[in-house]
């Protein structure tokens, strides 16, 4: 989860020294990082509970972001649907968990009519949040689960960190000015480079032979994670919202911090589902 990066991860260069907001973000990261890594290491019910808590909190943020009140009728229904899906997956029924998305969608459609809101955003939120949480839980419970999820987090965090500092130092042409005016191409390339370097270093540490292969995959994960960052930026711009929440000091909401993971996790899960392609070095 993106605990070190800031929302404007690919910002233009700034002359001032490390600001107080950045220090706040770093301090928040130092508090949250051991919790995330600890539950990731333990796996099992500890990691599942962390995902369940994150899913519920993100559901509230999503509902407020898209015009709701947080945990009103639709917010509570979405949160309950995600908890049921994660519970099914945790007890080994991943197929049923995916199928459970269908009745959850039908419930949200019915409740949207009662609530007088557009059904698009609650249904989109169910998939935007549900599939990544399900992917993370499934990855952690599978073979090489600890390694797979650790690498995923490392690639995304490295990308956000590299993008932030490259964007500040180098600047240059804008990446997507209509969506996120502060992001630059130099930030994107810097993030991909650092994610590739971190992935290669991880491969060396765990003695994987495909170091270059792993570096390329790390860069691809970084690129996908930045697509998630841009997608949430577009969503916030559409609703004229700066942050998804204010839960994490200096960071905003949980959605602001995990936007890259929400796109990268399903991508890694899909690659894992097709072992015959031999995409992943440990397959």
Domain edges within the chain: 20-277
Q: What's the pLDDT score for residue 4? A: 43
Specify the pLDDT at position 277: 58
User: Do residues 266 and 73 touch, judged by C-beta distance below 8 A?
Assistant: no
Burial class (CB in 10 A: 0-12, 13-18, 19+), 77: buried
- The alpha-helical segments, DSSP class H, found in the chain are 20-42, 44-65, 73-90, 94-99, 101-115, 120-141, 145-169, 185-205, 211-238, 254-273
Could you tell me the two tokens for 281? Answer: 């070095």
Along the 283 residues of the chain, how does pLDDT read in single tens digits? Answer: 444 443 444 444 443 445 565 666 677 677 788 889 999 999 999 999 999 999 999 999 999 999 888 888 899 999 999 999 999 999 999 999 999 999 999 999 999 888 778 889 999 999 999 999 999 999 999 888 999 999 999 999 999 999 988 988 898 889 988 888 888 999 999 999 999 999 999 999 988 888 999 999 999 999 999 999 999 999 999 998 887 766 665 556 899 889 999 999 999 999 888 765 566 766 6
* Nearest residue to 145 via CA among 135, 155, 132: 135
How many Cβ atoms sit within 10 Å of the Cβ of residue 152?
A: 24
* Structure-block tokens of residue 152: 């995923």
Question: What pLDDT does 273 receive?
Answer: 84
């Amino acid at each position: 989860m993106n605990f070190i990066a800031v929302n404007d991860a690919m910002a233009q260069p700034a002359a001032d020294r490390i600001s107080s907001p950045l220090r706040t973000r770093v301090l928040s990261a130092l508090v949250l990082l051991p919790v995330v890594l600890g539950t990731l290491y333990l796996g099992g019910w500890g990691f599942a509970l962390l995902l369940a808590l994150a899913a519920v909190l993100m559901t509230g943020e999503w509902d407020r972001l898209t015009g709701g009140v947080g945990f009103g009728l639709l917010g509570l229904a979405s949160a309950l649907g995600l908890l049921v899906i994660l519970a099914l997956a945790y007890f080994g029924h991943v197929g049923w968990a995916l199928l459970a998305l269908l009745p959850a969608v039908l419930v949200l459609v019915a409740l949207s009519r009662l609530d007088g809101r557009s059904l698009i955003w609650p249904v989109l939120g169910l998939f935007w949040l549900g599939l990544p949480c399900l992917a993370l839980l499934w990855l952690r419970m599978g073979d090489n689960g600890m390694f797979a999820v650790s690498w995923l987090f490392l690639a995304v965090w490295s990308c956000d960190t590299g993008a932030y500092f490259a964007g500040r130092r180098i600047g240059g042409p804008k990446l997507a000015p209509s969506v996120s005016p502060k992001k630059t191409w130099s930030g994107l390339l810097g993030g991909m480079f650092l994610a590739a370097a971190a992935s290669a270093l991880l491969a060396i540490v765990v003695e994987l032979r495909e170091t270059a292969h792993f570096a390329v995959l790390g860069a691809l994960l970084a690129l996908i994670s930045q697509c998630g960052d841009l997608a949430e930026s577009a969503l916030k711009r559409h609703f004229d919202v700066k942050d998804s929440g204010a839960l994490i000091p200096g960071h905003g909401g949980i959605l602001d911090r995990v936007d890259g993971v929400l796109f990268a996790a399903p991508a890694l899960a899909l690659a894992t589902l097709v072992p015959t392609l031999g995409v992943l070095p440990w397959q």
